[in-house]
Structure 1
Amino acid sequence: MKNPRDPLYLTARQAAGELSVSPATLYAYVSRGLIRSEPAESSRERRYRAEDVRALKGRRSMPAAQRSDVEQQAIETAVSTIDDGGQIYRGVRAVPLAAEASLEQAATLLWDVSGIDPFEPGNLPVMDQAMRAVMDACAQADPLPRAIATLALATSADGQAFNRSAEGRARIGARIVRLVTTAILGTPASADPVHVQIARQWAEGERQAESLIRRALVLLADHEFNPSTYTLRCAVSTGLSLYDATVAGLVALKGPKHGGAALLAAQFVGVLAVAEGDLEQVVRTHVTLGEQIPGFGHKVYRSSDPRADDLLAALVRAGADRRLAVEAPALISDATGLFPNIDYALAVMARTLGLPPGAEIALFAIARTAGWIAHGAEQLASGKLIRPAARYVGLHAGRTGRHPE
């Protein structure tokens, strides 16, 4: 940075200091578009627009009487955060947790419940005749649209959909996780662990697949305020049920810049898998042509994605193709400076286990439902309506509020 005292920009340390947040939270604000950043001219660091930092600071420090029951963009949460080591679920690091825990255990941690087991065998999804008819009619549809259609009817079928107690919401959450799993897999509702259901329905080599799928689900369970989670919190802040809010999350997840990126990564892994000869030549061709390489780079992590590192290492131990799990990522990182993200790791896992096309985003949806429930319940408990503050950049309006003629 030529002038470290440039009044237009702040360093990462200065920006985080003004906001009294961690660097990880600063990067999350950038990823959500709240603060603009750009590369510094003479170093590898980035610089941050001072006006954005101070505008955000002003909104966060707005008097309580002025805020009323409307929450601004900087939303406090106790559910999770992110740093260079990956996600932290209520104080517990997700990567070590994924070594042994199931999605159900990660969900219970995220939901901050104790004394009850929301995933007890008898707590199965409530499915009425209309929901079953939709499931049957959507049998040949893609998994996510089938889940969206099914959940759209779930609020009216579940008489406890608006239970306000912490335990009640946790039980609703467990029913939603199981319902999303059932709808995506196209199987009857089951109390079996989610990873067991997925491996049984989709995987080749079921027993080996269970551990890898279980690990991936825990790594995917939450990622702070990503687009689908923020969308869900906005939706649930209007007073929707957790079922309806989950529909909002699923719809946002489909976007190619979010969960849909996993499908692009799967296509790229398919190209690598059938490439004959030297992988380096395949990578060089993509880089030379200026093509974006799906599954590499991440807006939150400055270097590698810890989730991808962990899952790819587990795949290597399980005997996955090293060309996909080790050699290709190394070549691409050397050529581009980008590291594999969780989308690439998911695509390698899906190919290794012989999962059906589209399984990557389906796994994403099942796992992320656990985090959505945590954020949805937290937002409902706050009682606040999310209404982000706008920064108007259009033509100046006249006194009447209309644009000048």
Structure 2
Amino acid sequence: MKNLPEPLYLSAREAAAELAISPASLYAYVSRGMIRSEPEPQSRGKRYRAEDVRALKNRRAPPAGVARAGEADMPVLDTAISTITEAGPLYRGVHAVALADHATLEQAATLLWDTSGPDAFAAGNLPVMNAAMCAIVSATAEAAAIERAIAVLALAGDADPTAFNRSADGRARTGARLMRLVAATILKTQPSSLPLHRQIAQGWAPGNAAATDLIRRALVLLADHELNASTYTLRCAISTGLNIYDAAIAGLAALKGPKHGGAGPRAAHLVKDLADGSLASKVRERVSTGERIPGFGHSVYKNGDPRAAYLLAALSKAGAEERLAAEAPSLITEATGLYPNIDYALAVMMRLLGLPIGHETALFAMARTAGWVAHGIEQLRADTLIRPRARYVGPAPRGSTD
């Protein structure tokens, strides 16, 4: 009997079974470009390249007895918190874009934390800001918001006697205090039990109802985005046994990087440049010189960031300049094939609210604390140290000198 040829394609069920993963994880690999898919002929479903599935399987499962020196090009952790799909991030199975229509950041956090106990955001659950922490806020009033938050968090764990609480409800309550502390520190206010979008609106756009709603939507969209650089950094840090305050410092430090949270200010400078003059000539000049367009393109979303499309549409309805919310993205996408990402949308939003460059990163940090707490809780529950191995590419061992 002749050997049957290997199939070129696998169904979603076959691909997920071969990799021993959930369908959501399969879609995440597709969104990262690690597995190619295409429409199934005469069907509404999709089929997946068998060669890609098996190549990934081989990288994830080295032969017995071989040390896991480097499983794949990117580290992969199992998580039940979120994943990334072509329709945007899913928060425990709920589309973040749909959630942004009505939810607050606190409600998104409760979903991400998978808590069903007492309300962690109850009015009485406020962080303690001792004299030393207040002094730091005062001394760093002119510093960048992220630096100020890092400085205050360095003392927060010692100020909170329940920072190492191991119960599910205790960890959720600590997470809520962390979120409120980071917001208060960035906004230079006292911790409050008001929903965070209202606290931010009062500080940045008082009396502006449209701004309050836009901030609420943006916070929900930014609450989590799977294992991005800052979240993975936080998980590594907290896996050593840190409390969530100290681990959040690691996340904030990673967020400062120009390739992560620092992308927001670059997009804001682009928006400022595009605001006046000939839009077509400005775009043409940047493209013709090979200059990268900040705020456009994404390592995961190849066909556009759904969060950006959603927020830009909301900004247009709220009165943002069509030149920036619609015309510029269309021109740049036509010229480069790249779509606007959430950094560009946030930059347009900050311009609409009349806020200085840098506020987009501060908003990102306040929102992302929700996801960081979720990943911190999950990693603490796993109770394992994250210790990936390196793929050695140095010189071979030298011969004996005997």
After TM superposition, is the score higher than 0.5? yes
Structure 1 counterpart of 2:177, one-letter code: R
1:197 counterpart residue number? 199
1:26 counterpart residue number? 29
Kindly provide the CA deviation profile for residues 152-211 of structure 1, in whole angstroms up to 9, marking residues without a partner as x. Answer: 110000000000001000000000000000111111111111111111111265211000
2:396 paired with 1:396: yes
* Cα distance change on mapping 1:164 and 1:252 into 2, 3 Å: same
Decide whether the 8 Å contact of 1:15 with 1:53 is kept in 2.
no
Decide whether the 8 Å contact of 2:269 with 2:357 is kept in 1.
no
Moved more, 73-82 or 368-377: 73-82
2:282 paired with 1:282: yes
Structure 2 counterpart of 1:124, one-letter code: L
| Inter-partner Cα distance in structure 1 for 2:27 and 2:264 | 23
What TM-score results when the alignment is normalised by the length of structure 2? 0.86
2:350 counterpart residue number? 350
| Inter-partner Cα distance in structure 2 for 1:256 and 1:48 | 36
Moved more, 112-121 or 158-167: 112-121
Q: Using the TM superposition, give the Cα deviation of residue 267 of structure 1 relative to its aligned residue in structure 2, in angstroms.
A: 0.5
Kindly provide the CA deviation profile for residues 63-86 of structure 1, in whole angstroms up to 9, marking residues without a partner as x. Answer: 9xx99xxxx932111101111000
Q: Using the TM superposition, give the Cα deviation of residue 299 of structure 1 relative to its aligned residue in structure 2, in angstroms.
A: 0.5
* Cα distance change on mapping 1:83 and 1:15 into 2, 3 Å: same
* Cα distance change on mapping 1:142 and 1:306 into 2, 3 Å: same
Percent identity between the aligned chains? 57
What TM-score results when the alignment is normalised by the length of structure 1? 0.85
2:364 counterpart residue number? 364
1:146-225 matched pairs, under 5 angstroms: 146-203=148-205, 206-225=208-227
* Cα distance change on mapping 1:391 and 1:48 into 2, 3 Å: farther
| Inter-partner Cα distance in structure 2 for 1:62 and 1:202 | 57
SS of equivalent to 1:153: helix
SS of equivalent to 1:82: strand
Q: Using the TM superposition, give the Cα deviation of residue 298 of structure 1 relative to its aligned residue in structure 2, in angstroms.
A: 0.4
1:305-320 matched pairs, under 5 angstroms: 305-320=305-320
2:106 counterpart residue number? 104
| Inter-partner Cα distance in structure 2 for 1:29 and 1:386 | 22
1:3-402 matched pairs, under 5 angstroms: 19-21=19-21, 22-27=25-30, 53-58=56-61, 73-203=75-205, 206-273=208-275, 275-276=276-277, 278-398=278-398
| Inter-partner Cα distance in structure 2 for 1:140 and 1:343 | 24
Q: Using the TM superposition, give the Cα deviation of residue 295 of structure 1 relative to its aligned residue in structure 2, in angstroms.
A: 0.2
Q: Using the TM superposition, give the Cα deviation of residue 133 of structure 1 relative to its aligned residue in structure 2, in angstroms.
A: 1.5
* Cα distance change on mapping 1:243 and 1:124 into 2, 3 Å: same
| Inter-partner Cα distance in structure 2 for 1:227 and 1:314 | 28
Q: Using the TM superposition, give the Cα deviation of residue 357 of structure 1 relative to its aligned residue in structure 2, in angstroms.
A: 2.5
Q: Using the TM superposition, give the Cα deviation of residue 369 of structure 1 relative to its aligned residue in structure 2, in angstroms.
A: 0.4
| Inter-partner Cα distance in structure 1 for 2:77 and 2:162 | 28
| Inter-partner Cα distance in structure 2 for 1:154 and 1:294 | 35
* Cα distance change on mapping 1:16 and 1:250 into 2, 3 Å: same
Moved more, 47-56 or 333-342: 47-56
SS of equivalent to 1:270: helix
Decide whether the 8 Å contact of 1:204 with 1:354 is kept in 2.
no
Moved more, 48-57 or 181-190: 48-57
Structure 2 spans left out of the alignment, 5+ residues: 37-47, 69-73
| Inter-partner Cα distance in structure 2 for 1:355 and 1:282 | 23
Q: Using the TM superposition, give the Cα deviation of residue 290 of structure 1 relative to its aligned residue in structure 2, in angstroms.
A: 0.7
Kindly provide the CA deviation profile for residues 316-354 of structure 1, in whole angstroms up to 9, marking residues without a partner as x. Answer: 111110000000000000000000000000000000011
SS of equivalent to 1:101: coil
Decide whether the 8 Å contact of 2:117 with 2:169 is kept in 1.
no
Structure 2 counterpart of 1:103, one-letter code: L
* Cα distance change on mapping 1:186 and 1:54 into 2, 3 Å: same
Structure 1 counterpart of 2:397, one-letter code: A
Structure 2 counterpart of 1:270, one-letter code: K
Q: Using the TM superposition, give the Cα deviation of residue 236 of structure 1 relative to its aligned residue in structure 2, in angstroms.
A: 0.3
- After superposition, the CA RMSD in angstroms is 3.0
Decide whether the 8 Å contact of 2:305 with 2:339 is kept in 1.
yes
Decide whether the 8 Å contact of 1:262 with 1:361 is kept in 2.
yes
Q: Using the TM superposition, give the Cα deviation of residue 216 of structure 1 relative to its aligned residue in structure 2, in angstroms.
A: 0.2
Q: Using the TM superposition, give the Cα deviation of residue 49 of structure 1 relative to its aligned residue in structure 2, in angstroms.
A: 7.9
| Inter-partner Cα distance in structure 2 for 1:185 and 1:159 | 25
Q: Using the TM superposition, give the Cα deviation of residue 390 of structure 1 relative to its aligned residue in structure 2, in angstroms.
A: 1.5
Q: Using the TM superposition, give the Cα deviation of residue 47 of structure 1 relative to its aligned residue in structure 2, in angstroms.
A: 12
Kindly provide the CA deviation profile for residues 259-304 of structure 1, in whole angstroms up to 9, marking residues without a partner as x. Answer: 110110000000011x22x311111111011110000000111201
Q: Using the TM superposition, give the Cα deviation of residue 248 of structure 1 relative to its aligned residue in structure 2, in angstroms.
A: 0.4
Q: Using the TM superposition, give the Cα deviation of residue 25 of structure 1 relative to its aligned residue in structure 2, in angstroms.
A: 2.2
Number of residue pairs matched by the alignment: 375
Structure 2 counterpart of 1:25, one-letter code: A
| Inter-partner Cα distance in structure 2 for 1:250 and 1:92 | 26
* Cα distance change on mapping 1:396 and 1:158 into 2, 3 Å: same
* Cα distance change on mapping 1:119 and 1:62 into 2, 3 Å: farther
Structure 2 counterpart of 1:368, one-letter code: R
SS of equivalent to 2:388: coil
Kindly provide the CA deviation profile for residues 243-263 of structure 1, in whole angstroms up to 9, marking residues without a partner as x. Answer: 000000000011111111011
Decide whether the 8 Å contact of 2:231 with 2:372 is kept in 1.
yes
Structure 2 counterpart of 1:357, one-letter code: I
